[in-house]
Amino acid sequence: MTRVLTVAAAQLGPVQRSDARKDVVGRLIAHLREAKKQDCALVVFPELALTTFFPRWFMNDQQEIDRFFESEMPNQDTRPLFDEAKRLQLAFMLGYAERHSEKGRIHHYNTSILVDSQAHIVGKYRKVHLPGHAEHEPQRPFQHLEQRYFERGEGFSVWEAFDAKIGMCLCNDRRWPESYRVMGLQGAELILLGYNTPKHYPPAPEFDEHAMFHNHLVMQAGAHQNGSWVVAAAKAGNEEDIPMIGGSCIISPSGHIVAQAETESDELVVASCDLDLAQRYKHTLFNFQSHRYPPAYTAISNQ
Ligand code: ING
């Protein structure tokens, strides 16, 4: 019996600083309802889906910074999302800024959660590859202060859910082959990710014309080389005057993009993912057991 999971990449258009969480949640709920109409079982929302991409600004006041974070999940603003997903029997991935208190210490992570169709949080991932910088760089047209506002997460996991092996990562993680390989080594058949990517890359403006090509290249490679589906949801469009790329998509283990966004607004991208196709690649071209040679790779983890 083939395992086919119909999945949606739920792209968001811009979220402005003044947009209230409950209004953003209303947009997420509209995505859930459209996904249900298209017989989806799982919906992937972007990285930091509840707020504008606030690392674009330098802030020094922790109270001001904390206003972009969620101290519990679900909470008053997001409970309607969990309730509607349960009513519709839909699972979802949500990216958000997590404020976590542990042993009296406060931690801040760029987080995504995997929520099953009963609204139970079955998986949590905290972003490993934090791009940008930690100090104010006023010469930049805008900041990218993820290294200032977030702590690094511990690593990549894979969860058994919906009769599939599901991994999660976030944004800059998708540019590093190690992210996919660590999940591939855990058997990932479906990798869910969200991203917020400015069209302009101040350290190397000459890359800007390749932004969408690079966006898809790294995910197509990661999907194919690990025999996994990739479902990628962007937060796109002109967010606080900073243009962000769209290009949300669903990528097959063959490496082909099977569905992709055409706009930079709220847009649902849907595809039926044959999970046995992932196994087909894992048992042939990318049979890790018979073709990989880890003793030759020590430089990758030693450096
Ligand atoms: N954003 C970007 C990303 O990796 C970036 C950072 C932008 C890197 C442009 C290179 C070019 O897509 C996040 N949030 O990681």
For residue 93, give every residue at least 6 positions away whose Cβ sits within 8 Å of its Cβ, in sequence order, or none.
Answer: 42, 43, 44, 45, 112, 113, 114, 115, 168, 192, 194
Ligand 1 atom 4: residue of nearest CA: 172
pLDDT (average), residues 148-175: 97
Ligand 1 atom 9: residue of nearest CA: 201
Tell me: the pLDDT tens digits for 185-200? 999 999 999 999 999 9
The model's confidence at residue 243, banded by pLDDT at 50, 70 and 90, is very high
Q: Is 169 a known active-site residue?
A: no
The model's confidence at residue 178, banded by pLDDT at 50, 70 and 90, is very high
Mean residue pLDDT of the chain comes to 98
Indicate the top mutation candidate among 127, 170, 197 to test ligand 1's pocket, ranked by most ligand atoms within 8 A of CB: 197
Ligand 1 atom 11: residue of nearest CA: 201
pLDDT (average), residues 287-293: 98
- pTM across the whole model: 0.98
Tell me: the pLDDT tens digits for 60-88? 999 999 999 999 999 999 999 999 999 99
Ligand 1 atom 10: residue of nearest CA: 201
Give CA–CA dist 223/220, Å, rounded.
5
The model's confidence at residue 1, banded by pLDDT at 50, 70 and 90, is confident
- The radius of gyration of the chain's CA atoms, rounded to the nearest angstrom, is 18
Catalytically annotated residue among 36, 40, 98, 127: 127
Bridge partners of 12, per DSSP, are 235
Return the pLDDT at 2. 87
Catalytically annotated residue among 36, 40, 47, 169: 47
If one counts every other C-beta atom within 10 angstroms of the C-beta of residue 177, the result is 15
Scanning the chain, the segments in alpha helix (DSSP H) are: 21-37, 62-66, 79-87, 146-149, 177-184, 211-225, 275-282, 288-291, 298-302
Return the pLDDT at 291. 98
Indicate the top mutation candidate among 12, 143, 175 to test ligand 1's pocket, ranked by most ligand atoms within 8 A of CB: 175
The model's confidence at residue 181, banded by pLDDT at 50, 70 and 90, is very high
Q: Is 249 a known active-site residue?
A: no
For residue 215, give every residue at least 6 positions away whose Cβ sits within 8 Å of its Cβ, in sequence order, or none.
Answer: 195, 197, 245, 247
